[in-house]
């Protein structure tokens, strides 16, 4: 942190190698290492500056997924970083505490760059927010958990072949390793779950089906803790959960077959899509944890009556409203200070999602019905089940730039790369 209060981070995207299986090297990419990247952390009100250096043999970019910031700092395909170059974005953190992440966003290559291993957490804190009893000791009882799947051939090479959704891999890693475990020393543990996969949706729960609390979604805390046995995340989505452990026990966090909606048979996930992602190993003596408060935060109510503009978006195959991504075309022009409702429909019988840069949205309804509690908080990425219409509401504030677009796209990264993305300008 410099004298003027600016918090500076340095990230270098580089080539490396990882042994997912002992003795077998897989060429991977990472930030400052062989795979994934360091957790960045900043507080609301702080100014951050990042030096992003590209030591890869090809062009990339680094996007701050979930961050509210000027379009020129967003790290989308218009802020590409050439090999050997350094990009220096800077902005002020101005949003609630949340579990965000960063990943490359080069036009047409996002799937590959993320799949090779480029991704990291960006945690935001809010010093002014009340203490609501959530565990806060990083790496001890407040732990980021990124889950990814890949296919690795016998010789160790990454296999990028996939189907309609992209790659559904059989090698599942948690924070970059297979068979991950976490020593637990406190009664309660907060897990910040990130689906860092390019295509697969996970339905996380525990092997013994114990209840836990979901306390946050993409953009920050839910208004109250949600007792549940499952939390489903499509690619790019996050959730924070708090689980209670008993002394000496072992409990496995697992992914169960997700409920993808009315997909055609080939996309249904079955028993073969159940796998363990993290074993919690509780010590014989657990330090006491505070109680999670019954109220976590207040979220400003947003209703369709507040909207200045309503737009419709039809997602089909690799297009949005019949058009594929064009770097030279602006698809949506939104006015600063206005609220918009986006009616978004998945017209396929297979999954899509919608991610919008710069904003945190709220789900108003799904086919006219109120969303489930897990989707009632701040969302930047929303899973779109086949043949359903989602009404999303968002407000464009603080940053206008007629010359630089933000992106909105399907976060199944193959779809994004193949054109299921549009450009949004705030003026």
Binding site for ligand C2O (CB under 6 A): 63, 65, 103, 105, 236, 355, 357, 407, 409, 411
* One residue of 282, 286, 412, 421 binding Cu ion per CB under 5 A: 412
Q: How far is the CB of 137 from ligand C2O (least distance, A)?
A: 28
412 binding partner (options ligand C2O, Cu ion, none; Cβ < 5 to 8 Å by kind): Cu ion
Q: Does 93 bind Cu ion (CB under 5 A)?
A: no
State which H helix or E strand residue 392 sits in: strand 389-395
**Per CB under 5 A, does 415 bind Cu ion?**
yes
User: Between residues 188 and 318, which has the closer beta carbon with respect to Cu ion?
Assistant: 318
* Contact flag: residue 318 with Cu ion (CB under 5 A): no
113 binds Cu ion (CB under 5 A): no
**Which residues lie below 8 Å from residue 44, measured CB to CB, with a gap of 6+?**
93, 94, 95, 96, 97, 124, 125, 126, 127, 128
Contact criterion met (CB below 8 Å) for 121 and 192: yes
Task: Give Cα separations from 24 to 10, 21, 87, 94, 237 (angstroms).
Answer: 30, 6, 34, 44, 31
Q: Per the structure block, which two tokens stand in for 87?
A: 């990009």
Q: How far is CA 310 from the centre of its chain?
A: 26
Report yes or no: 311 and 345 within 8 Å, Cβ to Cβ: no
Tokens representing 136?
């806060």
Among Cu ion, ligand C2O, none, the one that 73 touches (CB under a kind-dependent 5 to 8 A) is none
- Identify what 345 binds: Cu ion, ligand C2O, none; CB under 5 to 8 Å per kind: none
Q: Which does 48 bind (CB under 5 to 8 A by kind): Cu ion, ligand C2O, none?
A: none
- φ, ψ of residue 93 to 5 degrees: the values are -75, 120
Question: Residue 371: which residues within 8 A CB-CB, separation 6 or more?
Answer: 363, 364, 365
Residues of span 336-355 touching Cu ion by CB under 5 A: 352
The encoded tokens of residue 289 equal 């944890």
CA 4 from chain centre, in angstroms, equals 31
Shortest reach from residue 93's CB to ligand C2O, in Å:
18
Choice between 236 and 371, CB closer to ligand C2O: 236
Cβ at position 38, least distance to ligand C2O in Å: 18
Q: Please say which residue, 89 or 135, places its beta carbon nearer to ligand C2O.
A: 89
Minimum CB distance to Cu ion, residue 64 (Å): 7
From Cu ion, ligand C2O, none, which one binds at residue 105 (CB under 5 to 8 Å depending on kind)? ligand C2O
According to the binding rule CB under 5 A, does residue 103 interact with Cu ion? no
Instruction: For residue 146, state whether it binds Cu ion (rule: CB under 5 A).
Output: no
């Amino acid at each position: 942190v410099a004298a003027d209060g600016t918090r500076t981070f340095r990230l270098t995207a580089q080539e490396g190698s990882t042994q997912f299986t002992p003795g077998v090297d897989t060429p991977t990419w990472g930030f400052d290492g062989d795979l994934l990247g360091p957790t960045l952390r900043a507080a609301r009100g702080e100014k951050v500056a990042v030096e992003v250096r590209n030591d890869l043999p090809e062009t990339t970019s680094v996007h701050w997924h979930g961050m509210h910031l000027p379009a020129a700092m967003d790290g989308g395909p218009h802020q590409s970083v050439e090999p050997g170059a350094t990009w220096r974005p800077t902005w002020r953190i101005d949003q609630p505490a949340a579990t965000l992440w960063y990943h490359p966003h080069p036009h047409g290559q996002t799937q590959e760059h993320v799949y090779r291993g480029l991704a990291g957490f960006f945690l935001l804190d809010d010093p002014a927010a009340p203490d609501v009893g959530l565990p806060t000791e990083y790496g001890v009882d407040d732990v980021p958990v990124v889950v990814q799947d890949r296919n690795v051939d016998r010789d160790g090479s990454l296999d990028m072949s996939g189907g309609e959704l992209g790659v559904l891999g059989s090698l599942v890693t948690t924070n970059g390793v297979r068979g991950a475990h976490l020593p637990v020393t406190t009664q309660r543990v907060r897990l910040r779950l990130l689906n860092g996969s390019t295509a697969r949706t996970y339905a996380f729960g525990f092997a013994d089906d114990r209840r836990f609390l979901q306390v946050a979604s993409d953009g920050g805390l839910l208004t109250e803790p949600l007792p549940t046995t499952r939390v489903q995340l499509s690619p790019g989505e996050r959730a924070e959960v708090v689980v209670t452990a008993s002394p000496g026990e072992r409990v496995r966090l697992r992914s169960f077959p997700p409920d993808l909606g009315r997909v055609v048979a080939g996309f249904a996930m079955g028993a073969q899509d159940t796998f363990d992602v993290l074993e919690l190993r509780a010590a014989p003596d657990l330090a006491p944890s505070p109680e999670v408060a019954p109220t976590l935060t207040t979220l400003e109510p947003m209703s369709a009556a507040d909207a200045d503009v309503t737009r419709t978006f039809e997602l089909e195959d690799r297009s949005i409203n019949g058009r594929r991504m064009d770097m030279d075309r602006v698809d949506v022009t939104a006015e600063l200070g206005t609220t918009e409702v986006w009616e978004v429909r998945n017209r396929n019988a297979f999954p899509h999602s919608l991610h919008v840069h710069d904003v945190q949205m709220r789900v108003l309804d799904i086919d006219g019905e109120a969303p489930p509690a897990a989707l009632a908080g701040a969302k930047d990425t929303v899973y779109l089940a086949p043949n359903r219409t989602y009404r999303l509401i968002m407000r464009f504030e603080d940053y206008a730039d007629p010359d630089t677009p933000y992106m909105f796209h399907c976060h199944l990264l193959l779809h994004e790369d193949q054109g299921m993305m549009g450009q949004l300008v705030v003026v």
